[in-house]
Structure 1
């Protein structure tokens, strides 16, 4: 007799810490360019514009190769494909340490996006193979907690690496890329030997456990329509397109938050070191919210409030952080805003698996994430432009708050559309 609770616990302990560590490495590798910039721009004679363009080209490569990457994952399996992703992005990160000019920087940042494309949606797809629907929100939340951890440790780590300037003849910014690229390569090698492709190939599960999980997932997928496993049709499914549009608001708001938060803390008149440690506080709140909100949502019949309410709270706090002049209150509002931006995302990502599976899930999840992450490109270019055009630090926050609120409103539309399609399909199945 298989115990569901014990089986889920066994899978969770086997997969989630490992996948979380991979995400920690990925997130720090995304952040490293912002720390390297402090020395890199001057050493290479790049303009601020050239740096900003190169940094944002990551998102273009990411956007173009998300869907193909996830389809390769579905075809080749997690073990091979995740190992390839990690090793290739690690190599490109190391190569960034040897950047000679702006053109080389552009090419390598674009290649980094190409190499890393598929990692986050690949993990989301992997979770649909390992966990029943009732557990997926919590698992995505546990996975994303490592992004909060990366944000908490990234600033002190970046500062320490920059302080290695001159060691063994390498500049501090070169150490930033070397020290963050090597772990990705090593993790890719470990992944090849550690990560099973799917439950059917998992040696740590018994035959009965594999059979129970297979039957449970099959029963959940049985109610889906015939197009659920079609990768191409997933890309033109109105629900997928609307979810992609909704998701743009979350990365956009997150990057906007990272743009505004250090400025607020700097206004306290503290040192850079104290600034770095104070910036840990919002990510502690994010970690708590990423655990609590998905856990509540997984037990609820309707997931919508657990996406919409935190997002509206986040939008309101972004707005208040810009309108209220008191630094302490601004910092408090931004801490709450951070939790409001990140906490709904695991619940949001549990929605596509209600109507997609197999290649359809792989393509659909990648499409949503690739379009959504263009929010990062928008934030890195539009937010500074608004600030320069208006001369105001308030206007960019109003823009971000409006975008996040609009994303929350769109979630209502998407969830209603999903429910209507589910109802229509169920009625059709009953008639046949």
Structure 2
């Protein structure tokens, strides 16, 4: 969770840097949207190979490697001088970070039985709104370090927030444990209990129908539909995250106030993630909780686009954040509930890589609409459209199949089971 806080700050701090950087290096909203989103093309290309390598090399070494390379490139963002260098470095940053998130989701399946996973994944992904709630005021404060040692505030922002990733590489090597078998901090009784629980999940009724071949997993309609849902959810998430500081700044607030106000929706998102993740586990229900979060996200984004520059738009954005971040726990329990063996690592990576292309589409559309209309309202409506599309696919195609321990989800259930 701590490492993902670092990761997400490095991913979205460009939104705060843009408050002063765009003018300095000649970025229009359109070019900024390109650069902010192209991160996810690099992420997409190297996602599956990275996750498969982690399964082979081990989480400890591979996550440390990811941290070190993205730390170097995050600091190097201070060197951008124009649109070309900005876009190239953002792409390389995506290449460096590819595999971290799906690698952690896979890693959690090594440690937590199915019935705990929605709340555990929600707790891990709490780092997303936490990173923004903490990073927003921090980033705007760092922007005030202007001209120190000849560097501008946005350059210090990239350097100061990139260094923790470099340090985190050594923390990962020292503290992460690849699997329960290697955990010296577990007693023999604890280790045996955990292994029995995980083995029971693998042997539960209905698991024989799970997909184990990677090739079949990547072509399975269920996996493709989950990737589409995540594409829409991520498009709404990153489209809002990258532009929220500029949206609030346009309402007339000072730079420091922007940081503080930006944190409000993400504090609401933190609470939403914890509550929804726990309720999803408690009621053993994924589909309806996922659909409900998309309703909240769409309603909040539409409300913010209509309400304009007012305190009520901040309230609406907070509702949207509850939906956008609350979907994570219910959603990420789905892939491992009907994939097994090699298909789990590749399937999770595939869903995340396709989904994260939404991280390009969301910022690109917001930037495009801002350039054409000089308003963020149309861009927020486009993000709401993503949420509606995810809602419809969830309701029309995701069908629950319950076994002894968990709910499995597949559009093929009627024919296969």
1:57–1:188 Cα change, 3 Å: same
Counterpart position of 1:299? 282
Name structure 1 gaps, 5 residues minimum: 1-19, 428-432
| Superposed displacement of residue 280, structure 1 | 2.0
Matched, 1:233 2:216: yes
| Superposed displacement of residue 155, structure 1 | 2.0
- The CA deviation string for residues 257-302 of structure 1, in whole angstroms up to 9 with x for no partner, is 3366446644664433223212222111111111111101102133
RMSD: 2.3
SS in 2 for 1:174: helix
SS in 1 for 2:399: helix
Matched, 1:205 2:192: no
Q: Is this contact kept in 1: 2:298–2:385, CA < 8 A?
A: yes
Q: Which moved more, 1:350-359 or 1:408-417?
A: 408-417
Matched, 1:278 2:299: no
Q: Is this contact kept in 1: 2:297–2:320, CA < 8 A?
A: yes
The within-5 A match list for 1:80-159 is: 80-159=61-140
Counterpart position of 1:11? none
Counterpart position of 2:176? 195
Counterpart position of 1:160? 141
Instruction: Return the alpha-carbon distance in structure 1 between the equivalents of residues 411 and 39 of structure 2.
Output: 37
Instruction: Return the alpha-carbon distance in structure 2 between the equivalents of residues 391 and 94 of structure 1.
Output: 32
Instruction: Return the alpha-carbon distance in structure 2 between the equivalents of residues 188 and 148 of structure 1.
Output: 22
Aligned match for 1:368, one of 335, 341, 351:
351
1:273–1:164 Cα change, 3 Å: closer
Counterpart position of 1:28? 9
| Superposed displacement of residue 227, structure 1 | 6.3
Counterpart position of 2:198? 217
Equivalent pairs counted in the alignment come to 407
Q: Which moved more, 1:47-56 or 1:84-93?
A: 47-56
| Superposed displacement of residue 233, structure 1 | 2.2
Counterpart position of 2:234? 251
**TM-score, length basis structure 2:** 0.90
- The CA deviation string for residues 175-222 of structure 1, in whole angstroms up to 9 with x for no partner, is 112112211011011101210111111111122222222222122122
Instruction: Return the alpha-carbon distance in structure 1 between the equivalents of residues 85 and 247 of structure 2.
Output: 34
- The CA deviation string for residues 346-388 of structure 1, in whole angstroms up to 9 with x for no partner, is 1110011111123211111111111111112111211222344
SS in 2 for 1:301: coil
Instruction: Return the alpha-carbon distance in structure 1 between the equivalents of residues 309 and 81 of structure 2.
Output: 44
Q: Which moved more, 1:211-220 or 1:222-231?
A: 222-231
Counterpart position of 1:15? none
Q: Which moved more, 1:386-395 or 1:211-220?
A: 386-395
Q: Is this contact kept in 1: 2:300–2:316, CA < 8 A?
A: yes
SS in 1 for 2:368: helix
Name structure 2 gaps, 5 residues minimum: 401-408
Instruction: Return the alpha-carbon distance in structure 1 between the equivalents of residues 243 and 305 of structure 2.
Output: 9
**TM-score, length basis structure 1:** 0.87
| Superposed displacement of residue 250, structure 1 | 1.0
SS in 2 for 1:64: helix
Instruction: Return the alpha-carbon distance in structure 1 between the equivalents of residues 320 and 243 of structure 2.
Output: 12
Q: Is this contact kept in 2: 1:31–1:154, CA < 8 A?
A: no
